[in-house]
Amino acid sequence: MIPKLIVFGGNGFLGKRICQEAVTAGYQVVSVSRSGKAPQSNELNDKQWMREVQWAAADIFKPDSYHELLKDASNVVHSLGILLENENYKQTLSKTPTNDSKSYLLSFGAGPNPLKKSSPYFTYEMMNKQSAIILADTFKQEILKKSKKEQTKANERSFTYISADKGFPMIPSGYINSKREAEIELEKMQKYFRPVIMRPGFMFDERRNAIGPRSFIHTALELLYCGNKFLLQNKLQFMNDLIRPTVSTQQVSKSVLTKIKNPDFKGVVTLEEILKT
C-alpha cells in the first residue's frame, strides 16, 4: 500500500517543496490549503511533480472540512504559520526592494494588520499554535476510530510540525513562544503518532532566482554568518546565538522525509541536524 502524506500549507514556500520531495519518495501526496490550488510556477520540473499531487481546499480551523482526508493518512505535516501578526510582510517578501534600503527594511512587516478586524485567526496564538493543535487532535480522533490493533501502531504514523530554530531580532517574542508551546502540546500525543519537530532557521529556495526581499535578507544573513565565523571565529557565544545559518527549503524537505521514513524517530530536529541532510 502506498503511504499517504498530507501537507497542510502544501502550496506555500516550504510546503510545496515538502510535497515535491514526498512525490519523489513515492508517497501519495495531498496538499491542503484555503485555495486548494497548486502554486504558480514556470519551471517544467515543478509542473511535472505538481500533477502527481492532490490539491484540496479546506479551513484548518474547521476540522469538518478535512477530517475525511485524514482517515487513511499515515503522515501529516503542518507547514503553516506567521512570522509577524501582519499579513503585509508576506506581500513585501514577494516584491523587489527599492533603491532606498532604509525604507525597504522599515517596510518589512510594517503597517496595520489588514486582518485584525476581519479575522481573529491571524495571530501567533492561532496560526502558529492552535492551528497545529486542532489539526493534531483531528488526526488523533481519526486514529481512535480504528481498531485497537491499529491504534497501537503509533510508530507507523507521524505528525510533523514546522517550528523554528530561534526568535529573530526585532520580531516579537510571541513568535517563538507560540512555536515552543505548540511543540509541548504535540509531544503529549506520542501515544497516537510520532511527533517530528523541525526547527529550521531563515529559509531560501535553491531554485528561486528572482531578486526580491527574501533573497536580499538571505544574502545579508549569510554575510553576517560568514563574518562571525571567519572574523570572530565564533568566539562570542551571544553572537553565535544571534547569528544563525540559513537553510534551503530543499534541505528542510529532505530532512522532513528522512525523519518520517524512520519509524524509530520522534522529537526535535535541530537546525544543525537539518543542515547535515
- Listed by start position, the domains of the chain span 4-86+119-209+246-275
CB atoms within 10 A of CB 125: 16
Q: Evaluate whether 31 touches 15 at the Cβ level (below 8 Å).
A: yes
Q: How far is CA 238 from CA 168, 196, 220, 244, in A?
A: 13, 28, 19, 11
* More reliable by pLDDT, 125 or 84: 125
Examine the pLDDT at 93 and tell me if it is beyond 80: no
Confidence bin at 110 (pLDDT 50/70/90): very low
Q: Distance (Å, rounded) from C-alpha 240 to C-alpha 217?
A: 18
The amino acid occupying position 254 is: K
Q: Distance (Å, rounded) from C-alpha 182 to C-alpha 161?
A: 9
Q: What is the pLDDT of residues 242-270, one digit of tens each?
A: 668 889 999 999 999 999 999 999 999 99
Q: Return the C-alpha torsion angle 205, 206, 207, 213, nearest 10.
A: 50
Examine the pLDDT at 117 and tell me if it is beyond 60: no
* More reliable by pLDDT, 273 or 223: 273
Confidence bin at 42 (pLDDT 50/70/90): confident
C-alpha cell at 134: 486542532
Contacts of 122 (CB under 8 A, 6+ apart): 82, 85, 87, 113, 115, 116
Residue 171 Rama label (left phi>0; alpha psi -120 to 50; beta):
beta
Q: Distance (Å, rounded) from C-alpha 179 to C-alpha 143?
A: 25
Q: What is the mean pLDDT of residues 93-98?
A: 51
Q: Which of the listed ranges 24-28, 44-48, 92-96 does the model predict with the highest average pLDDT?
A: 24-28
Q: What is the mean pLDDT of residues 43-57?
A: 94
Q: What's 4-86+119-209+246-275's CATH class? A: alpha beta
Quick one: which of 66, 76, 68 has its CA closest to 10? Answer: 76
Examine the pLDDT at 53 and tell me if it is beyond 60: yes
Q: What is the pLDDT of residues 222-240, one digit of tens each?
A: 555 465 555 555 655 655 5
- Sign of the Cα torsion 65, 70, 72, 77 reads positive
CA atoms within 13 A of residue 239's CA, in its CB half-sphere: 14
Q: How far is CA 11 from CA 4, 209, 211, in A?
A: 17, 19, 21
Whose grid coordinates read 519509524?
Answer: 263
Quick one: which of 251, 253, 196 has its CA closest to 75? Answer: 196
